[in-house]
Amino acid sequence: MGETVPRALAEFFAEHPRVALAYSGGVDSAYLLYAARACGCDVAAYCVKSAFQPGFELEDARRLAVSLGAALHVIEVDALKDPEVRANPADRCYYCKRNLFTTLIACARNEGFNTVIDGTNASDDAGDRPGMRALRELGVLSPLRLCGITKAEVRAYSKEAGLFTWDKTAYACLATRVPTGEEITAEKLSRVEGAEAALFSLGFTDFRVRLFHDAARLQLPAAQIESAARRRGEIRAALKPFFDVILMDTMDRG
């Protein structure tokens, strides 16, 4: 059995023995939940449920929390209540993160947790990313980043620990499917979520369904384009309940 929690991260949890974790069920936050419990930390997982997260993410979050014997708190937030978020400016993520984490922090403090952590890792380019700016302003700590742990290392440690999330595909929030400057609505998010679920059911992975006017613009990894071209009739039928026009290109991450 190899190492599943590096020394630097174990030292972080020794210094912060009681934390609230912003938990999505994705690779990074899932590993942090495991590591915190492996280090004997008193950790509570807080999962924010909003129109920006697809249903399967919450299912994965619950599944892992149960397997680790960890308490899971689900907080429902109306992400579209803020007009700054609905307007979808270039820095939308700042307003969204600020709102979500302000709510999460308040819930955590009500239960006696003064330290809040998230899953930002050392591979994430901090730069002037709006979401990270909101986390800094709110005092949220990112132990993976602070300890220099990269995404590849998170996956390796997760695999060693036997976490089913170790090879989970990164999944950006549904709001990223709406072009910057175009208003985000619950109806648009619902159509995108339905279309992506339909593609998943056909066996496609690591893709995005982006809005382009009233069409669905499918972004697929190059390795899946040939298969998608052969199955375009099947894809069109599966996505028909959500979009009349389907466009296709290779993957442009984001």
The domain that contains 236 carries what CATH number? 3.30.300
**Has residue 125 got a pLDDT over 80?**
no
Which of helix, strand or coil describes residue 44?
strand
Per-residue confidence (pLDDT) for residue 126, from 0 to 100: 61
Tell me the pLDDT of the chain averaged across its residues: 92
Question: Is residue 150 domain-resident?
Answer: yes
Per-residue confidence (pLDDT) for residue 62, from 0 to 100: 93
Per the listing, tokens 């599943």 go with: 4
Token readout for 251 is 């993957």
Confidence of residue 128 (pLDDT cuts 50, 70, 90): low
Q: What is the mean pLDDT of residues 227-245?
A: 94
**Has residue 254 got a pLDDT over 50?**
no
Residue 17 CA neighbour count, 13 Å, CB half: 2
For residues 83 and 141, membership in a common domain is answered with: yes
For residues 193 and 163, membership in a common domain is answered with: no
Question: Is residue 179 domain-resident?
Answer: no
- pLDDT for 89-108, tens place per residue? 999 999 999 999 999 999 99
Instruction: Answer for the pair 165, 31: CB distance below 8 angstroms, yes or no.
Output: yes
For residues 90 and 212, membership in a common domain is answered with: no
Q: What is the mean pLDDT of residues 210-233?
A: 92
Rounded Cα distance, 211 and 247, in Å: 10
* Weakest-pLDDT range from 59-68, 117-126, 153-162: 117-126
For residues 207 and 90, membership in a common domain is answered with: no
Query: Is the whole-model pTM more than 0.85?
Result: yes
Looking at the structure of the chain, the number of domains it has is 2
Residue-range definition of the domain harbouring residue 70: 7-167
Q: What is the mean pLDDT of residues 35-62?
A: 93
Q: What is the mean pLDDT of residues 80-94?
A: 95
Chosen domain end from 140, 167, 194: 167
